[in-house]
Amino acid sequence: MCGRFSADVSAEVLLQTFNLSGLPVINPRYNVAPTQQVAVVREGADGGNRLDLLHWGLIPAWAKERTIAYKMINARSETLLEKPSFRQAYKYRRCVVPASGFYEWRHEGKAKLPHYIRIRDGLPMLFAGLWESWKSPEGEVVESFTILTTAANKLLESIHERMPVILHPAECGRWLDRSVTNTSGLATLFQPYPADLLEMWQVSPLVNTVKHHSYELIAPVAI
C-alpha cells in the first residue's frame, strides 16, 4: 500500500510535466498522510490540466458518512471494475498525484523500520489515482482521491507485497484524458515500476508521527 509520501516537486516541473495554465503555488511536504488535503492533477472541463487540493481518502458518492475515507486511501488496480467504490471513478474521474518519494516499513520482530523510496534520477513520482465528489447530508461538498496500487517490484517485495502505481510522464496524458471511458487499454499502465530505476534507504522513525514534517525525515540513517 501507500500510506505516507513526500511531495517536494517544483512548480516549474509540474508546469512542464502537465502543461498547466499557470505556475502553481506549492510548498514542499515530507510527511503527507491520509485525511490531509493533497495537490493532485486532473483534467478540467475545458480539456486542460489543473492542480487542485483534494482530501486523501476517497469518499464514494453513495457514502453516508465521510469516515469511509479511512478505508479508501488505496485501491487495488487489479479489481477496479469489480468494486462499486471505484468503478465509475476509473471510467470518468482519474487523476495523478505528484510525489517525490514514498515510505514503506520493514518488519523485524516487533520493530517497524521506515524506508524511503524514490526515483534514482530525481524525477517526480507520478502516482495514478482516482477522485470523487461527495455531498454530505448537511450539504458540504468534499472532493477526495485514492492512490492505485500494484504488485511490488523486486526492490520493494522484501518489505511489502504492494506498491503505488507509478506512471511515466509520457503516460499521464492518456491516464488523465476524460474522453477515454473504455478502460480496457488502461490496465497496461498498472505494471510495477522498474526496480532498477528506484532507490531505497532506511529513515528515521520520526516519520511515524504526522506532526513531524521536515526534510530530515527523508535523510538516510545509520544502520
| Residues forming the active site | 2, 104
The 3-state DSSP class for residue 223 equals: coil
Residue whose C-alpha is closest to residue 217's, from 116, 118, 123: 116
**Cell numbers placing 204:** 528515521
Phi-psi map region of 15: left, alpha, beta (phi>0 left; psi -120 to 50 alpha): alpha
- The residue type of 203 is V
What distance in Å separates the CA atoms of residue 114 and residue 96, rounded to the nearest whole number?
A: 25
Contact 2, 188 (CB under 8 A): no
